[in-house]
Each structure stands twice: as C-alpha cells, then as structure tokens.
Amino acid sequence: MSYTPKTSSEINQFHIEKTLKKLQKGLIRVQDCDLNKRFDRLQRDNKIWYEDLYPKYVAIVRKLNQQTFN
C-alpha cells in the first residue's frame, strides 16, 4: 500500500518530496520543477516541514550547479 495524503498541506508536502527526488535523480531540471510557489505555501501552512525540506532543496540545487560548472 502506498501513502495517500489527505489534507492540502499533506498533498503539497508530498509533491515537494516527490519533485525533490526527481530533481536529485536528474529526471527534471530546476527550472521545470516550479517549487517556489509550493515552498511559499508550505512556509505559511507548516513552518516545521518548510524548515526541514527547504535546506534539502537548496543543497540539491547547489550540487547540481557545481556539477554543471565543473
């Protein structure tokens, strides 16, 4: 059985986590992920999850940028 989010905040968090995994694997580009709006909403709705997920997003983007320039 897979996890099914119930509230809009859980759905938002689920989409962010799923997109971060795709971004890390290189399946999508940073420009295509469109996470800024989702993170803005997450910051309003659930500050704890924002503080957990946003640093992961920044780390993934930095790593991808380093790989691009090297």
Classify residue 11: in a domain, yes or no: no
Give a yes or no: residue 1 inside a domain: no
How many domains is the chain partitioned into structurally? 1
Residue at token pair 């997109």: 19
Residue 8 belongs to a domain: no
Supply the pLDDT for residue 6.
Answer: 83
Please report whether residue 32 resides in a domain: yes
pLDDT of residue 3 exceeding 80, the answer is no
Give the domain extent around 22: 18-69
Q: Give the pLDDT confidence score for residue 67 in this predicted structure.
A: 81
Q: List, for residues 50-63, the tens digit of each pLDDT value.
A: 999 999 999 999 99
pLDDT recorded at residue 30: 87
Cβ neighbours of residue 64 closer than 8 Å, sequence gap 6 or more: 23, 26, 30
Query: Is residue 48 one of the residues assigned to a domain?
Result: yes
pLDDT for 51 equals 95
